[in-house]
Amino acid sequence: MERRFIVRGLLVGAIGGILAFVFARIFAEPQIQAAIDYENGRDAAQAVLDRAAGLPAEAADHEVFSRTIQGNVGIGAGMILFGAAMGALYAVAYVLACGRTGNLRPRTLALLVALGGFLGSYLIPFVKYPANPPSVGHAETIRDRSGLYLLMVGVSIAVLVLAVWLGQRLKPRFGNWTATLLAALACAVALGVAIFALPELGHLHANVAEYGRHPTETPLPLRNAQGQIVYPGFPADLLFSFRLYSVAAQAILWTAMGLCFAPLAERLLSPAPAAVRTPAGV
Protein backbone atom coordinates (compact mmCIF):
# COMPACT_ATOMS: atom_id res chain seq x y z
CA MET A 1 0.00 0.00 0.00
CA GLU A 2 2.65 2.51 1.04
CA ARG A 3 4.59 1.77 -2.16
CA ARG A 4 1.61 2.79 -4.27
CA PHE A 5 1.50 6.12 -2.47
CA ILE A 6 5.24 6.64 -2.90
CA VAL A 7 5.13 5.90 -6.65
CA ARG A 8 2.26 8.32 -7.05
CA GLY A 9 4.07 10.92 -4.97
CA LEU A 10 7.14 10.69 -7.21
CA LEU A 11 4.93 10.98 -10.27
CA VAL A 12 2.95 14.03 -9.13
CA GLY A 13 6.18 15.63 -7.91
CA ALA A 14 7.75 15.23 -11.33
CA ILE A 15 4.61 16.67 -12.97
CA GLY A 16 4.72 19.64 -10.60
CA GLY A 17 8.43 20.04 -11.31
CA ILE A 18 7.82 20.13 -15.06
CA LEU A 19 5.14 22.81 -14.66
CA ALA A 20 7.36 24.84 -12.34
CA PHE A 21 10.21 24.47 -14.86
CA VAL A 22 8.06 25.78 -17.73
CA PHE A 23 7.10 28.75 -15.55
CA ALA A 24 10.73 29.29 -14.54
CA ARG A 25 12.00 29.09 -18.12
CA ILE A 26 9.54 31.79 -19.24
CA PHE A 27 9.48 34.13 -16.23
CA ALA A 28 12.58 33.50 -14.10
CA GLU A 29 15.32 33.09 -16.69
CA PRO A 30 15.14 36.70 -17.97
CA GLN A 31 15.40 37.91 -14.35
CA ILE A 32 18.31 35.58 -13.61
CA GLN A 33 20.11 36.75 -16.76
CA ALA A 34 19.51 40.40 -15.82
CA ALA A 35 20.97 39.72 -12.36
CA ILE A 36 24.04 38.06 -13.90
CA ASP A 37 24.46 41.03 -16.28
CA TYR A 38 24.30 43.35 -13.27
CA GLU A 39 26.97 41.29 -11.54
CA ASN A 40 29.25 41.33 -14.60
CA GLY A 41 28.85 45.09 -14.96
CA ARG A 42 29.61 45.59 -11.30
CA ASP A 43 32.71 43.39 -11.50
CA ALA A 44 33.92 45.43 -14.48
CA ALA A 45 33.37 48.69 -12.59
CA GLN A 46 35.16 47.26 -9.56
CA ALA A 47 38.07 46.26 -11.79
CA VAL A 48 38.37 49.83 -13.09
CA LEU A 49 38.37 51.17 -9.52
CA ASP A 50 40.99 48.60 -8.48
CA ARG A 51 43.22 49.52 -11.39
CA ALA A 52 42.87 53.23 -10.57
CA ALA A 53 43.88 52.44 -6.99
CA GLY A 54 46.84 50.38 -8.20
CA LEU A 55 45.46 47.07 -6.91
CA PRO A 56 45.90 43.78 -8.81
CA ALA A 57 42.83 42.79 -10.82
CA GLU A 58 40.86 39.78 -9.59
CA ALA A 59 40.93 36.75 -11.88
CA ALA A 60 37.64 36.17 -13.71
CA ASP A 61 35.67 33.00 -12.89
CA HIS A 62 35.95 30.40 -15.60
CA GLU A 63 32.71 28.90 -16.87
CA VAL A 64 32.02 25.22 -16.22
CA PHE A 65 28.70 25.22 -18.09
CA SER A 66 27.52 27.84 -20.56
CA ARG A 67 24.59 30.06 -19.65
CA THR A 68 22.54 28.20 -22.28
CA ILE A 69 23.10 24.89 -20.49
CA GLN A 70 22.45 26.41 -17.06
CA GLY A 71 19.33 28.25 -18.16
CA ASN A 72 17.71 25.35 -20.02
CA VAL A 73 19.10 21.93 -19.06
CA GLY A 74 20.33 22.78 -15.56
CA ILE A 75 17.24 24.55 -14.31
CA GLY A 76 15.01 21.91 -15.95
CA ALA A 77 16.86 18.99 -14.34
CA GLY A 78 17.00 20.85 -11.03
CA MET A 79 13.31 21.72 -10.89
CA ILE A 80 12.11 18.26 -11.97
CA LEU A 81 14.44 16.40 -9.59
CA PHE A 82 13.48 18.76 -6.78
CA GLY A 83 9.80 18.19 -7.59
CA ALA A 84 10.22 14.40 -7.55
CA ALA A 85 12.08 14.55 -4.22
CA MET A 86 9.38 16.77 -2.70
CA GLY A 87 6.73 14.44 -4.14
CA ALA A 88 8.35 11.43 -2.45
CA LEU A 89 8.54 13.24 0.90
CA TYR A 90 4.98 14.50 0.40
CA ALA A 91 3.71 10.94 -0.12
CA VAL A 92 5.43 9.82 3.09
CA ALA A 93 3.90 12.73 4.98
CA TYR A 94 0.49 11.90 3.51
CA VAL A 95 0.67 8.23 4.48
CA LEU A 96 1.75 9.14 8.02
CA ALA A 97 -1.03 11.73 8.31
CA CYS A 98 -3.72 9.25 7.21
CA GLY A 99 -5.84 8.27 10.17
CA ARG A 100 -3.98 10.59 12.54
CA THR A 101 -5.43 13.96 11.56
CA GLY A 102 -9.09 13.68 12.36
CA ASN A 103 -12.10 13.19 10.16
CA LEU A 104 -10.80 14.35 6.78
CA ARG A 105 -11.60 13.03 3.33
CA PRO A 106 -8.57 11.65 1.43
CA ARG A 107 -8.78 14.47 -1.11
CA THR A 108 -8.98 17.20 1.51
CA LEU A 109 -6.05 15.67 3.38
CA ALA A 110 -4.01 15.61 0.15
CA LEU A 111 -4.49 19.35 -0.32
CA LEU A 112 -3.76 20.11 3.34
CA VAL A 113 -0.52 18.08 3.34
CA ALA A 114 0.54 19.89 0.15
CA LEU A 115 -0.21 23.21 1.84
CA GLY A 116 1.90 22.12 4.81
CA GLY A 117 4.76 21.13 2.49
CA PHE A 118 4.64 24.47 0.70
CA LEU A 119 4.60 26.41 3.96
CA GLY A 120 7.18 24.31 5.83
CA SER A 121 9.72 23.60 3.13
CA TYR A 122 9.59 26.97 1.40
CA LEU A 123 7.28 29.85 2.35
CA ILE A 124 7.97 30.14 6.09
CA PRO A 125 11.77 29.89 5.59
CA PHE A 126 11.34 32.44 2.77
CA VAL A 127 9.83 34.94 5.22
CA LYS A 128 13.13 34.97 7.13
CA TYR A 129 15.63 34.09 4.38
CA PRO A 130 14.04 34.92 1.01
CA ALA A 131 15.26 33.53 -2.31
CA ASN A 132 18.04 35.64 -3.82
CA PRO A 133 18.99 36.13 -7.47
CA PRO A 134 22.62 35.81 -8.60
CA SER A 135 24.88 38.63 -7.31
CA VAL A 136 22.95 38.86 -4.00
CA GLY A 137 24.91 36.84 -1.43
CA HIS A 138 28.56 36.91 -0.37
CA ALA A 139 30.76 33.88 -1.02
CA GLU A 140 32.38 34.23 2.44
CA THR A 141 29.09 33.51 4.22
CA ILE A 142 27.84 30.50 2.21
CA ARG A 143 28.48 28.13 5.12
CA ASP A 144 26.55 30.26 7.62
CA ARG A 145 23.75 30.96 5.17
CA SER A 146 23.34 27.27 4.26
CA GLY A 147 23.20 26.30 7.93
CA LEU A 148 20.73 29.03 8.84
CA TYR A 149 18.49 28.25 5.88
CA LEU A 150 18.38 24.53 6.68
CA LEU A 151 17.75 25.34 10.33
CA MET A 152 14.83 27.56 9.33
CA VAL A 153 13.40 24.79 7.09
CA GLY A 154 13.78 22.24 9.89
CA VAL A 155 12.19 24.50 12.50
CA SER A 156 9.29 25.36 10.18
CA ILE A 157 8.48 21.72 9.42
CA ALA A 158 8.87 20.67 13.07
CA VAL A 159 6.59 23.47 14.28
CA LEU A 160 3.92 22.63 11.70
CA VAL A 161 3.99 18.93 12.68
CA LEU A 162 3.81 19.83 16.38
CA ALA A 163 0.90 22.19 15.67
CA VAL A 164 -1.04 19.35 14.01
CA TRP A 165 -0.28 17.10 16.99
CA LEU A 166 -1.34 19.85 19.40
CA GLY A 167 -4.57 20.43 17.51
CA GLN A 168 -5.42 16.73 17.78
CA ARG A 169 -4.66 16.79 21.51
CA LEU A 170 -6.85 19.84 22.11
CA LYS A 171 -9.77 18.62 20.00
CA PRO A 172 -11.57 16.48 22.62
CA ARG A 173 -11.52 19.39 25.03
CA PHE A 174 -12.27 22.42 22.85
CA GLY A 175 -13.88 20.98 19.73
CA ASN A 176 -12.51 20.99 16.20
CA TRP A 177 -12.85 24.69 15.39
CA THR A 178 -11.34 26.14 18.56
CA ALA A 179 -8.64 23.45 18.74
CA THR A 180 -7.54 24.25 15.18
CA LEU A 181 -7.40 27.97 15.90
CA LEU A 182 -5.46 27.45 19.14
CA ALA A 183 -2.96 25.18 17.38
CA ALA A 184 -2.55 27.72 14.56
CA LEU A 185 -1.97 30.48 17.11
CA ALA A 186 0.66 28.42 18.95
CA CYS A 187 2.29 27.68 15.59
CA ALA A 188 2.41 31.37 14.66
CA VAL A 189 3.90 32.34 18.03
CA ALA A 190 6.58 29.63 17.85
CA LEU A 191 7.54 30.60 14.29
CA GLY A 192 7.56 34.27 15.22
CA VAL A 193 10.00 33.55 18.05
CA ALA A 194 12.25 31.54 15.70
CA ILE A 195 12.20 34.27 13.04
CA PHE A 196 12.98 36.90 15.66
CA ALA A 197 15.77 34.85 17.28
CA LEU A 198 17.71 33.86 14.15
CA PRO A 199 20.24 36.43 12.87
CA GLU A 200 19.80 38.63 9.81
CA LEU A 201 22.19 37.61 7.04
CA GLY A 202 23.71 41.10 6.91
CA HIS A 203 24.54 40.87 10.62
CA LEU A 204 26.83 37.83 10.22
CA HIS A 205 30.36 38.54 11.47
CA ALA A 206 32.00 38.27 8.06
CA ASN A 207 29.54 40.76 6.58
CA VAL A 208 29.76 43.32 9.39
CA ALA A 209 33.56 43.16 9.24
CA GLU A 210 33.77 43.71 5.51
CA TYR A 211 30.68 45.74 4.53
CA GLY A 212 29.40 47.36 7.74
CA ARG A 213 26.10 46.63 9.50
CA HIS A 214 23.28 46.21 6.98
CA PRO A 215 20.22 43.97 7.28
CA THR A 216 20.85 41.97 4.09
CA GLU A 217 23.58 41.09 1.59
CA THR A 218 21.90 42.93 -1.30
CA PRO A 219 24.67 44.89 -3.10
CA LEU A 220 24.76 48.61 -2.28
CA PRO A 221 25.95 51.24 -4.78
CA LEU A 222 29.63 51.02 -5.65
CA ARG A 223 31.54 54.22 -4.77
CA ASN A 224 34.94 55.48 -5.89
CA ALA A 225 37.61 56.93 -3.57
CA GLN A 226 35.81 60.29 -3.55
CA GLY A 227 32.55 58.71 -2.45
CA GLN A 228 30.76 59.23 -5.76
CA ILE A 229 28.47 56.44 -6.93
CA VAL A 230 30.05 54.81 -9.99
CA TYR A 231 27.76 51.78 -10.22
CA PRO A 232 24.19 51.50 -8.87
CA GLY A 233 23.00 49.19 -6.12
CA PHE A 234 21.10 46.05 -7.03
CA PRO A 235 17.85 47.02 -8.86
CA ALA A 236 14.91 46.85 -6.43
CA ASP A 237 12.39 45.94 -9.15
CA LEU A 238 14.53 43.02 -10.28
CA LEU A 239 14.85 41.73 -6.73
CA PHE A 240 11.10 41.96 -6.21
CA SER A 241 10.10 40.23 -9.44
CA PHE A 242 12.67 37.45 -8.91
CA ARG A 243 11.27 36.75 -5.45
CA LEU A 244 7.66 36.98 -6.60
CA TYR A 245 8.32 34.46 -9.39
CA SER A 246 10.19 32.24 -6.94
CA VAL A 247 7.14 32.10 -4.67
CA ALA A 248 4.87 31.57 -7.68
CA ALA A 249 6.97 28.64 -8.94
CA GLN A 250 6.84 26.87 -5.57
CA ALA A 251 3.11 27.57 -5.35
CA ILE A 252 2.67 25.99 -8.80
CA LEU A 253 4.75 22.97 -7.77
CA TRP A 254 2.84 22.28 -4.55
CA THR A 255 -0.59 23.09 -5.99
CA ALA A 256 -0.01 20.73 -8.91
CA MET A 257 1.22 18.05 -6.52
CA GLY A 258 -1.81 18.40 -4.23
CA LEU A 259 -4.36 18.53 -7.03
CA CYS A 260 -2.88 15.55 -8.91
CA PHE A 261 -2.34 13.48 -5.77
CA ALA A 262 -5.83 14.10 -4.34
CA PRO A 263 -7.86 11.94 -6.78
CA LEU A 264 -5.14 9.26 -6.84
CA ALA A 265 -5.17 9.01 -3.04
CA GLU A 266 -8.95 9.01 -2.96
CA ARG A 267 -9.02 6.10 -5.40
CA LEU A 268 -6.40 4.16 -3.40
CA LEU A 269 -8.24 4.65 -0.12
CA SER A 270 -11.83 4.17 -1.25
CA PRO A 271 -12.80 0.56 -1.82
CA ALA A 272 -13.35 -0.06 -5.53
CA PRO A 273 -16.45 -1.96 -6.74
CA ALA A 274 -15.95 -5.66 -6.10
CA ALA A 275 -16.08 -6.65 -9.78
CA VAL A 276 -13.18 -4.34 -10.74
CA ARG A 277 -11.01 -5.04 -7.70
CA THR A 278 -7.87 -7.06 -8.38
CA PRO A 279 -6.27 -8.97 -5.51
CA ALA A 280 -2.68 -7.72 -5.94
CA GLY A 281 -2.41 -4.82 -8.33
CA VAL A 282 0.20 -2.07 -8.14
Partner 1 sequence: MTMSTLPTTRSTPVVVPRTRAALWLFGTVAFGLAVYYFVGLDQGATSVFGNNTYIHELFHDARHFLGFPCH
Q: Provide the binding-site residues for partner 1, judged by CB under 8 A.
A: 1-3, 5-6, 9, 24, 28-29, 32, 63-65, 69-71, 73-75, 77-79, 81-82, 84-86, 88-89, 91-92, 95-106, 109, 122, 125-126, 129-134, 137-139, 142-143, 145-147, 149-150, 242, 245-246, 249-250, 269, 271
130 touches 244 (CB < 8 A): no
Closest contact distance (angstroms) between CB of 88 and partner 1 is: 4
Question: Quick count: other Cβ atoms within 10 Å of Cβ 119?
Answer: 20
Nearer of residues 137 and 202 to partner 1, judged by Cβ: 137
What H or E segment, with its residue span, contains residue 229? strand 229-231
Nearer of residues 219 and 231 to partner 1, judged by Cβ: 219
Nearer of residues 126 and 261 to partner 1, judged by Cβ: 126
Closest contact distance (angstroms) between CB of 226 and partner 1 is: 30
87 touches 12 (CB < 8 A): yes
Closest contact distance (angstroms) between CB of 230 and partner 1 is: 23
Distance CA 36, CA 48 (A): 19
Q: 103 - beta bridge partners?
A: none
Nearer of residues 109 and 159 to partner 1, judged by Cβ: 109
Closest contact distance (angstroms) between CB of 86 and partner 1 is: 7
Q: 219 - beta bridge partners?
A: none
Q: How far is CA 73 from CA 190, 249, 250, in A?
A: 40, 17, 19
